[in-house]
Structure 1
Amino acid sequence: MHFFLLGASGRTGQHVVSELLAHGHTAVALVRTSGSLTPRPGLTVVTGSPLSKSDIRSALFAAPSLSPSAAIFTLSSVRKSDSPFAAQASPPRFLADSCANLCEVLEHAGIHRVVVMSTAGVGDSWANMAWLNQVFLSWTNIKYTLEDHGILDKEIRLTKMDWTLVRAVRLKYDDQKTIVEETDVRTLGSHGKGMSLTDSVSVTSVARFLVKIAVEGLFVKSAVVVADRHG
């Protein structure tokens, strides 16, 4: 299959690229910063902004004679440092507007499948988060990312897309060179019932899951919380 990627240069997105190429798929990625992702066999990289519909349209068919079957969205909003209290660097509604632009361009092109990486705590999963996690998310600037994801979550349901929202619990970032044992994630439904304070999920596991459901057409028009099986 051929995929269109937004967020491919990010810490999760790079694993999505590797997973796709390892299974013989191809992809075209729109990246904001030239040089942030290196083209390689099977991967076409185009520089542009997800806030520009014309940039998305230009990138969509940038790979000669290949039309994407689906899109995978792993964009994340950026703070001025990794501190949870750091100010937002991304504009308000960065995720929601980027996804809205993507869905509009895809629908116009006759492409209806999109898989979006979201986060636990969005929508109906909030009530099942451990209260300490709720406090952390409410009192740090991560709340702005959560709000943006919440807007995206509500708006994508109003589109005609065959969407899936993958709500990852606390992410563990592993080095791409590290060999991580291949394992399936735990799926906890839309509500995330059974989430615990100590739950986490590796970006490698999330990337594999994103690719799997995009390829196999799973969890269409639904949200799903995911965590590593070992907690």
Structure 2
Amino acid sequence: MHFLLLGATGRTGKHVVSELLSQGHTAVALVRTAGSLSPRAGLTIVTGSPLSKSDIQTALSAASSLIPSAAIITLNAVRKSESPFASQLSPPRFLADSCANVCEVMGNAGIRRIVVMSTAGVGDSWAKLPWLSKAFMGWTNVKYALEDHDLVDKEIRLTKMDWTLVRASRLEFDDPKKQKPADTKADVQTLGSNGVGMRMADSVSVSSAARFLVKVAVEGLFIKEAVVIRD
């Protein structure tokens, strides 16, 4: 399969690229900064913005004779630093407007499949989120990204796309000391749309999240559904 990727330079997006290419798929990645993604066989890189419909259109046709059959979006809001208290640099509707643009451009091209990385606490999963997690999100600048993810959640449901929203628990970088061979890595746990059973200690590694995003996109799972995941 051939995929359109947005957010391919991020901590999860880089793993999505590696996972797709290792499975023999191809991809075109729309990146905002030239040189932010290393060239690889099977990967076409286009510099542009997800806030520009013309840039997305350019990416769709960038790989000769290949038309994406699906998109995987792993965009996230940008803050001044990794600190949850750092001010946000992205526009308030960066995620929502980017997703809306992708849905419109792909829809006009007759492409319906889109898988979007979201976060636990969005939509109906907020009610089941542990209270400490709610406090953290409500009292820090993380709340602005959560609000944007909520807008994505609401708006994508109004489209005709075959969407999936993957609501990840707290993302963790992979620990090299705990790396397992690819054939022994366990699948993530899925908790449904509302995340019944979520715990304060829940997390998911970026590589686990990426494998799940690719699996959902390739196998056509959870169409028109949201799903909370954890390791």
TM-score, with length taken from structure 2: 0.96
- Unaligned 5+ segments in structure 2 are none
For residues 141 and 209 of structure 2, the distance between their equivalents in structure 1, rounded to whole angstroms, comes to: 23
Contact 1:4 1:27 in 2 (8 A): yes
Report matched runs for 1:18-33 at 5 Å: 18-33=18-33
Deviation at 1:179, TM superposition (A): 3.8
Structure 1 counterpart of 2:114: 114
For residues 54 and 197 of structure 2, the distance between their equivalents in structure 1, rounded to whole angstroms, comes to: 42
Secondary structure of the residue that 2:44 maps to in structure 1? strand
In the alignment, structure 1 residue 70 sits paired with structure 2 residue 70: yes
Matched to 2:212, the amino acid is F
For residues 39 and 54 of structure 1, the distance between their equivalents in structure 2, rounded to whole angstroms, comes to: 23
Structure 1 counterpart of 2:58: 58
Report matched runs for 1:49-198 at 5 Å: 49-174=49-174, 179-181=179-181, 182-198=185-201
For residues 196 and 173 of structure 2, the distance between their equivalents in structure 1, rounded to whole angstroms, comes to: 24
Matched to 1:11, the amino acid is R
Contact 1:169 1:201 in 2 (8 A): yes
Structure 2 counterpart of 1:210: 213
Q: Return closer, same or farther for 1:176/1:161 CA change in 2, 3 Å cut-off.
A: farther
Q: Deviations over 1:134-163 (max 9, x none)?
A: 000000000000000000100000000000
Matched to 1:109, the amino acid is A
Contact 1:15 1:176 in 2 (8 A): no
Secondary structure of the residue that 1:62 maps to in structure 2? coil
Secondary structure of the residue that 2:127 maps to in structure 1? helix
Percent of aligned pairs with the same amino acid:
73
- 1:227 alignment partner, one of 204, 209, 230: 230
Matched to 1:55, the amino acid is D
For residues 151 and 193 of structure 1, the distance between their equivalents in structure 2, rounded to whole angstroms, comes to: 22
For residues 41 and 178 of structure 2, the distance between their equivalents in structure 1, rounded to whole angstroms, comes to: 22
Structure 2 counterpart of 1:9: 9
Structure 1 runs of 4+ with >4 Å offset: 175-178
Secondary structure of the residue that 2:58 maps to in structure 1? helix
Moved more, 178-187 or 36-45: 178-187
For residues 106 and 180 of structure 1, the distance between their equivalents in structure 2, rounded to whole angstroms, comes to: 37
Deviation at 1:61, TM superposition (A): 1.2
Q: Deviations over 1:110-153 (max 9, x none)?
A: 00000000000000000111100000000000000000000010
Q: Return closer, same or farther for 1:185/1:101 CA change in 2, 3 Å cut-off.
A: same
